[in-house]
Structure 1
Amino acid sequence: MACYRIEWRPSTKKDLKRVSMSEIPRIIKAVEALSDTPRPSGSTKLSGSDSTYRIRIGSYRVIYEIYDDTLLIEVVKVGHRKDVYKK
């Protein structure tokens, strides 16, 4: 299986600044693991889009989109579970 390239939106880099310092390494490790397994067990496909998924890391969520044709994963949003789904 091919490795996917991971891109972070500029807004997600700002999102990480609001995350607890103790959680940031866990989040980065989980996102890096997506390059080998873009749909790990425990990931959830979000309704309303064919390519948007979510993974849980403690009380934080990472929302990402998978582009299989270009082998790209784009991290869309990172945040606490109570805030991440708000627009």
Structure 2
Amino acid sequence: MDKHQAKLIVRWLYQNEDDIDNPRSIGKGLTANRSGQWRYRVGNYRVIVEIDDGNMIVVAINIGHRRSIY
């Protein structure tokens, strides 16, 4: 991933996660061996996250192009 794309992803995360009450409302739940994790779509890239409800923390587990992230 190039530097420009990384900046876009970080900016997207800040813009979309700062003032939201439910971080699951903008993502999609994953299934099978990734059950409990969520996916955010940022252009052709995917951000795989785990959400800690008790502390409202979103932890990015993996970031990659959509063809190779899963």
TM-score range, shorter chain: 0.7 to 0.9
Higher relative contact order (CA 8 A, sep 6+): 1
Unaligned runs of 5+ in 2: none
- Moved segments of 4+, more than 3 Å: none
Question: Would you say how many aligned residue pairs link Structure 1 and Structure 2?
Answer: 65
Paired AA for residue 62 in structure 2: K
Distance between the aligned counterparts of 1:40 and 1:24, measured in 2? 23
Paired AA for residue 31 in structure 1: L
Distance between the aligned counterparts of 2:60 and 2:19, measured in 1? 15
Q: 5 Å matches for 1:48-87?
A: 48=32, 49-50=35-36, 52-85=37-70
- Is the Cα contact below 8 Å between 1:53 and 1:64 reproduced in 2? yes
Distance between the aligned counterparts of 1:30 and 1:77, measured in 2? 15
Q: Scaled by the length of structure 2, what TM-score is found?
A: 0.76
- Aligned match of 1:25: 7
- Aligned match of 1:36: 19
- Aligned match of 1:4: none
Name the % identity: 31
Bigger helix share: 2
Q: 2:31 aligns with which of 43, 47, 54?
A: 47
